[in-house]
C-alpha cells in the first residue's frame, strides 16, 4: 500500500530553482529529463523530494556516497552532437559494425530447471544489497540507486508450447520459448540474469535480433555501474512537445505512431543491454517518451479495468504498425507513483503497474510479450515536483528503445 490519496493542490518546493527543460506554465514542474532529476536527487542526498523523510514518517534510504576513483572521475565535457538524428540508422552511426553470431550458434547443455527462476535467489555482483522483498519483487541498492527487480518469465511463457534451458560457457544461460505458431524466442542471459541477447526466430528460420550487447561490457565482476556516466550531460535541443507526448493531448490516434516512429534525440554511442537502459536515466533519456496520463489506477492498486484497457488502443495500434515494419522493436514500459508512502513500496507498486500495462497490451491487443519490457521507478522521477499526493505523478510511460538495444541494420 502506498498511501496514495486523491490529488490536492501543491505549493512549490522551497528554495527550488527551475532546471533546464522545465515547463514555464507550471512552476511546480520537474525537469523534463530523468537524468536531470537524478542529479537533483543525488545533490540533495535523498531518494525523493520530501526532505529525507517519506510520508509515513520513516527515514528515506540514504544513497551511498561515491568513494575513491568513482568520486574523482571527471564527468565528460558537454559536446555538440548536432541536430537530432533523422532516423534510427543515423542514430547508430557511432556504433562500429560487428558480426553478430546467431543466438543458437553456440552448443549448449540442456538443464532440467530454470536457472535463478526466483529473483530472490539470483547471483548478483559485489556491492549489491537486497533492501526488502515485496512478494515476487526484490528491492536492490547499489551505486546510489535503489531499484526493483522482478521476473518477466510468466509473461514470456504464457501460452508457450514448450520452454527449456541450456547452460552456455562463461556462466551464461539460454532460454528457448517455443510457441504453437512455430516462433521461437531465444534469450541469452549472463551470470546475473541480465539479458545480453534476445532474438525471435520465425518458422522460416529468419532471426530477428531484439536486443544485443557486447559481452565484454560484462567481463568485470565489480559493482554495477551506470553507463550514462560515460556520456556528457544531455542537451535537449527540441521542445518538450517533441520529446514527450502526453496522452491527454492526443486528438488523433495516429499521433502515437507518428511520435513513436521518431528516432532518438541524440546519437547512440554503443548498444546497451535492456537492463542497462532500465537502470540508467541518462541512457533512457536518449529515447522519446509517451506519458499515458489518461490511464487511471485505483488507490494502491495495479489492476486495470476494462474501461482503462480501452485507453491503450491508440498506442497498441501504433506498436502493431511499427512491428509490421520491424518485428524486432522493443518498447520499455515505465511505472511511476507519487511521493506518498515509502519509497520501497512505491517501487514495487509502480513495477506491478508497468507489468499490468504490458499484460493488457498482449492480452487485449496481441502485442508479443518479447517486444515489451517493464520497469517500475516508484517516486524517483516525479512529473510534478511535490511530496504530496498528485495524480499526474501516478503514471505509466512508454519509450521505443530499439535503437538503444539492437543493431538496426541486422533487421532490415
| β-pair partners for 400 | 331
Q: How far apart are the first and last CA of the chain?
A: 46
Q: How high is the pLDDT of residue 56? A: 32
The set of residues, in sequence order, having a beta carbon less than 8 Å from that of 172 and lying 6+ positions away, is 188, 189, 190, 191, 196
DSSP secondary structure letter of residue 77: P
Average pLDDT over the chain, rounded to an integer:
82
3-state helix, strand, coil in the chain (%, to 5): 30, 20, 55
Assign 307 to helix, strand or coil: helix
CB 348 within 8 A of CB 376: yes
pLDDT in tens, 212-223: 998 776 555 456
Given a cut of 50, is residue 17 above it in pLDDT?
no
Q: How high is the pLDDT of residue 120? A: 66
Q: pTM for the complete prediction?
A: 0.85
Q: How many whole angstroms separate alpha carbon 62 and alpha carbon 254? A: 44
Q: Are strands 162-167 and 145-149 parallel, antiparallel or unpaired?
A: unpaired
Provide mean pLDDT across the span 260-269.
95
| β-pair partners for 149 | 138
Provide mean pLDDT across the span 227-245.
92
More confident position, 370 or 65: 370
Q: pLDDT grade, residue 3 (50/70/90)? A: very low
Q: How high is the pLDDT of residue 97? A: 67
pLDDT in tens, 291-345: 998 998 776 788 899 999 999 999 999 999 999 999 999 999 999 998 888 999 9
pLDDT in tens, 127-163: 888 999 998 899 999 877 899 999 999 999 999 999 9
The angle subtended at Cα 406 by Cα 265 and Cα 273, nearest 5°, is 90
Q: pLDDT grade, residue 397 (50/70/90)? A: very high
Amino acid at each position: 500500500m502506498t498511501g496514495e490519496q486523491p490529488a490536492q493542490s501543491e505549493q512549490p518546493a522551497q528554495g527550488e530553482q527551475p532546471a533546464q527543460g522545465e515547463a514555464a506554465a507550471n512552476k511546480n514542474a520537474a525537469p523534463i529529463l530523468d537524468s536531470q532529476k537524478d542529479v537533483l536527487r543525488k545533490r540533495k542526498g535523498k531518494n525523493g523530494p520530501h526532505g529525507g523523510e517519506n510520508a509515513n514518517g520513516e527515514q528515506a534510504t540514504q544513497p551511498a556516497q561515491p568513494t575513491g576513483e568513482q568520486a574523482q572521475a571527471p564527468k565528460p565535457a558537454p559536446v555538440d552532437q548536432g541536430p537530432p538524428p533523422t532516423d534510427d540508422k543515423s542514430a547508430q552511426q557511432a556504433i562500429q559494425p560487428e558480426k553478430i553470431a546467431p543466438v543458437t550458434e553456440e552448443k549448449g547443455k540442456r538443464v532440467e530447471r530454470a536457472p535463478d527462476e526466483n529473483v530472490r535467489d539470483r547471483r548478483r555482483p559485489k556491492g549489491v544489497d537486497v533492501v526488502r522483498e515485496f512478494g515476487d519483487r526484490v528491492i536492490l541498492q547499489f551505486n546510489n540507486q535503489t531499484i526493483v527487480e522482478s521476473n518477466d518469465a510468466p509473461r514470456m511463457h504464457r501460452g508457450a508450447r514448450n520452454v527449456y534451458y541450456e547452460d552456455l560457457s562463461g556462466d551464461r544461460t539460454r532460454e528457448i520459448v517455443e510457441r504453437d505458431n512455430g516462433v521461437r524466442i531465444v534469450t541469452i542471459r549472463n551470470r546475473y540474469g541480465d539479458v545480453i541477447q534476445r532474438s525471435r526466430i520465425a518458422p522460416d528460420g529468419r532471426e530477428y535480433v531484439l536486443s544485443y550487447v557486447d559481452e565484454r561490457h560484462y567481463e568485470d565482476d565489480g559493482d554495477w555501474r551506470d553507463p550514462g556516466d560515460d556520456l556528457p550531460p544531455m542537451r535537449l535541443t527540441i521542445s518538450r512537445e517533441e520529446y514527450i507526448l502526453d496522452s491527454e493531448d492526443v486528438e488523433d490516434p495516429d499521433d502515437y505512431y507518428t511520435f513513436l516512429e521518431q528516432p532518438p534525440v541524440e546519437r547512440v554511442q554503443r548498444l546497451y543491454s535492456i537492463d542497462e537502459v532500465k537502470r540508467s536515466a541518462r541512457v533512457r533519456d536518449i529515447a522519446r517518451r509517451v506519458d499515458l496520463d489518461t490511464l487511471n489506477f485505483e488507490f494502491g492498486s495495479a489492476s486495470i479495468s476494462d474501461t482503462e484497457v480501452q485507453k491503450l488502443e491508440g498506442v497498441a495500434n501504433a506498436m502493431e504498425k511499427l512491428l509490421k515494419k520491424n518485428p524486432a522493436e522493443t518498447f520499455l514500459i515505465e511505472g511511476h507513483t507519487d511521493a506518498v508512502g515509502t519509497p520501497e513500496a512505491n517501487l514495487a507498486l509502480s513495477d506491478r503497474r508497468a507489468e499490468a500495462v504490458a499484460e493488457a497490451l498482449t492480452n487485449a491487443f496481441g502485442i508479443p510479450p518479447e517486444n515489451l519490457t517493464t520497469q517500475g521507478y516508484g517516486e524517483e522521477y516525479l512529473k510534478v515536483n511535490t511530496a504530496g499526493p498528485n495524480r499526474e505523478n501516478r503514471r505509466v510511460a512508454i519509450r521505443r528503445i530499439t535503437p538503444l538495444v539492437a543493431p538496426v541494420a541486422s533487421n532490415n
